[in-house]
Amino acid sequence: MENRTELSINTEVVEKMAEIAALEVEGVAGICKRAIDLKGAVKSKNAFKGVKVESVNGAIKISVYICVEKNGHVKDIAEKVQQNVKDKIQTMTGTAVTKVNVSVADVNFGAETEE
Q: What is the DSSP string of the chain?
A: ----------HHHHHHHHHHHHHTSTTEEEE-PPP--HHHHHH-TTTT-SEEEEEETTEEEEEEEEEEETTS-HHHHHHHHHHHHHHHHHHHH---EEEEEEEEEEEE-------
| pTM given for the model | 0.80
Query: Mind listing the pLDDT tens digit for each residue in 1-46?
Result: 577 777 678 889 999 999 999 999 999 999 998 655 555 555 555 5
Domains of the chain, first to last: 11-108 (3.30.70.1350)
Residue 111 vs residue 94, higher pLDDT: 94
pLDDT value of position 35: 57
CA distances from 96 to 17, 22, 103 (A): 15, 18, 21
Query: Mind listing the pLDDT tens digit for each residue in 43-90?
Result: 555 556 899 999 888 889 999 999 999 999 999 999 999 999 999 999
pLDDT value of position 115: 46
